[in-house]
Amino acid sequence: PEPPKEDESFVKIEKVESKTGTTNGKPWKAFFITTATGEKLGTFSETLADLASTYAKEGKLVRLRSKPSKKGREVVSIEDDAA
């Protein structure tokens, strides 16, 4: 089977929220990134979430790559397009 197709879009990040929980006795922390267009994407990467928070504060337009996951879309990478 083909790997799920990655999407790339240029977006402004509105906010980043985190959610914690426990599954089968294992604690987890997920982050949800909301874009200016209202799209919500998830990630388990604290690094990506921190990056997204910084870009949200700066109001920057960033290049966001995502892929389909079980629960909506998952963030693959975030880059400052000016870099």
pLDDT digits (tens, 9 = 90+) for 21-47: 999 999 999 999 999 999 999 999 999
Q: Give this prediction's pTM.
A: 0.85
- What pLDDT band is residue 82 in, cutting at 50, 70 and 90? low
Q: What is the pLDDT of residue 70?
A: 86
Cα–Cα distance between 22 and 38 in angstroms, integer? 27
If phi > 0 it is left, if psi is from -120 to 50 it is alpha, else beta; for residue 76 that is: alpha
Measure Cα distances from 25 to 21, 22, 28, 55 in Å: 9, 6, 10, 34
- Give the rounded distance of the alpha carbon of 65 from its chain centre: 8
Q: What percent of the chain has pLDDT over 90?
A: 83
Q: What is the pLDDT of residue 4?
A: 66
* Residues 6 or more apart in contact with residue 54 via CB below 8 angstroms: none
